[in-house]
Structure 1
Amino acid sequence: MAALRRLTQARRSSSERAALAGEAAAQAAEQALRERAPAPVDAGSAPTEQPAEPQPVEPQSATPPVDHPQGAAFFDCDNTILQGAAVFYLGVGLYRRNFFSRRDVAKFAWQQAWFRLFGTEDPGHIADAQHTALSLVAGKRTADLEEICEEIFEDIVAAKVWPGTRALVQMHLDAGQRVWLVTAAPQEVARIIARRLGMTGALGTVAEEVGGQYTGRLVGEMLHGPAKAAAVRALARREQLDLGHCAAYSDSANDIPMLSLVGHPFVVNPDARLRKYARAHGWRVRDFRTGRKAARIGVPAAVALGAVAGATVATVALRRKRR
């Protein structure tokens, strides 16, 4: 990780930062996996040969592969597994623990309402949340934040998981496949969600830390868009996975790079751009939403008013707490 930290300090292009973020996420995920697993009895000292760099493949079928030893499944988090965005749940949870101001959490509430209403990620909202979170955790102990994340997501995972997506996760697990969460949320949050769902592990955004404390910087960049694809590619190389026999699930057009890597891309609760792309490329679409299906062709005024009302209720609740 020291080498990754040094690279982070240098000026990097967008593609280089994405590759660095992917490698950092894969390295952290593999390390977490080793820490959980018992040491092998007959582990040799000779280094193993590195498998070839996995390449993008053409989709093979509309049925998820669940019987190949080198297959695995990769699941996006926000609106694919969780109803809403993990980073905003984290923000509200940290506010209740005096990490954020009332103004910050009111902004989180509006951004969450936007995400739930339109089913698409706003890059400005994401960058906003990232900047706020990094500035506030700088200098804090990593162990402390991990403990807080455990408390925050104890109930959220149980209450906010889409049952249909959870069934897909379980299908891969029951078949003995490795199942990974891939998310822009911090790796500390990603690991908790993955563990609660019985997943193999998680790829998440890696925040730089020195001596057990956060520096307020990221390793590379947030695990988003091309960085997710880089992380999946890096993990596949480390775990000797065959991407042609892997499946990936996401709701967002931002994850087209990740979905295009695997032989079995699946679209879950898609935004409009991804739905259109999926239809053009013959990808399977699964929608577990009910009330929000109307968003495919436009948002009725009543739904829009509901979102505004929700944001207003959140603001009123904050004012009452201040009194």
Structure 2
Amino acid sequence: MLAVFDLDETLIRGDSSQLFTEFLRAENIDTSPDSEARGRVFMRAYNNGHMDLQDYMEFSLAPIRGWQRDQVQELIDRFVTKVIPPRILPTAQERVAWHKAQGHDVLVISATGEHLVSPIARHLGIDDGIGVQVEWHNNSLKGTIGSRRPFRGGKVSALEEWIAARQASPEKVWFYSDSHNDLPLLNAVDYPVAVNPDPILEDYAQQQGWLIFIDEVALA
């Protein structure tokens, strides 16, 4: 059995990539004057289901382009330690604990960059995470992304590749998400679950009779 969790607004309150951009501004690493406004434009596009993932990732990686891998890791460790703990949402964490108690494999899959997804997943007690592939050259961050892009239908192919690479064949697959952007994967699994769903996903989940969980803190 495999339990797959989206990250943002499912396991944590907020968008992890946007939170990282805000962290970079607070640390005076991102000093571009228009970054906050551009970030809002990208988030509106995401919520409407038509964000250009490559443009967004290149925007979010730009402040640390050229950094060495160990510098990036140290920065992200500080970000995760400082920003993530108060944003952990209870329902999905309870479901993670339930699945682990059943002996199920647990995985995070997100349209956020892998440089953030894997460390946040580990902080949440989840060993495996799939994110947007981030490219490096000689341990230097290129600021570009590779072919693995788990956004919308890309989450289906990314999960299929992850399963194939492990020569695994899970008996059943659960998937927990908040976003209508994840409908391709939600419709592909055995047990789709809506967690803190956006209005489009909530309506769809109700029509399909799916489980729906809502954290009041997510709405605060």
Flag the 1:113–1:136 CA change in 2: closer, same or farther, 3 A.
Answer: closer
Counterpart for residue 129 of structure 2? 202
Aligned residues of 1:72 and 1:241 also touching (Cα < 8 A): no
The one of 98, 108, 112 equivalent to 2:28 is 98
Q: TM-score, normalised by structure 2?
A: 0.87
Aligned residues of 1:178 and 1:200 also touching (Cα < 8 A): no
More helix by share: 1
Structure 1: stretches of 5+ with no match in the other structure = 1-70, 294-323
Amino acid at match of 2:184: P
The one of 42, 46, 58 equivalent to 1:131 is 58
SS in 2 for 1:140: coil
Q: Taking every aligned residue pair, what percent have the same amino acid on both sides?
A: 22
Shift of 1:148: 0.4
| Structure 2 Cα separation of the partners of residues 108 and 87 of structure 1 | 13
The one of 62, 76, 82 equivalent to 1:155 is 82
Shift of 1:128: 5.6
| Structure 2 Cα separation of the partners of residues 95 and 181 of structure 1 | 27
Counterpart for residue 6 of structure 1? none
Larger Rg: 1
| Structure 2 Cα separation of the partners of residues 152 and 211 of structure 1 | 24
Give per-residue Cα distances to partners, 1:242-273, cap 9 Å, x unaligned. Answer: 45511110000110111122111111011111
Give per-residue Cα distances to partners, 1:132-180, cap 9 Å, x unaligned. Answer: 2233333221221121011011132210011111111111112222111
The one of 217, 223, 247 equivalent to 2:150 is 223
Aligned residues of 2:89 and 2:217 also touching (Cα < 8 A): no
| Structure 2 Cα separation of the partners of residues 200 and 101 of structure 1 | 34
| Structure 2 Cα separation of the partners of residues 264 and 76 of structure 1 | 14
1:87 aligns with 2:17: yes
Q: Which of 1 and 2 has higher RCO (CA within 8 Å, sep 6+)?
A: 1
Q: Count how many residue pairs are aligned between Structure 1 and Structure 2.
A: 220
| Structure 1 Cα separation of the partners of residues 55 and 33 of structure 2 | 13
Counterpart for residue 107 of structure 1? 37
Give per-residue Cα distances to partners, 1:84-140, cap 9 Å, x unaligned. Answer: 10001110112233321262453277569979xxx9466448666423223333322
| Structure 2 Cα separation of the partners of residues 183 and 193 of structure 1 | 11
Amino acid at match of 2:22: V
Counterpart for residue 256 of structure 1? 183
| Structure 2 Cα separation of the partners of residues 196 and 134 of structure 1 | 22
The one of 239, 247, 266 equivalent to 2:174 is 247
| Structure 2 Cα separation of the partners of residues 290 and 93 of structure 1 | 21
More strand by share: 2
Structure 2: stretches of 5+ with no match in the other structure = none
Q: TM-score, normalised by structure 1?
A: 0.61
| Structure 1 Cα separation of the partners of residues 84 and 48 of structure 2 | 20
SS in 2 for 1:216: strand
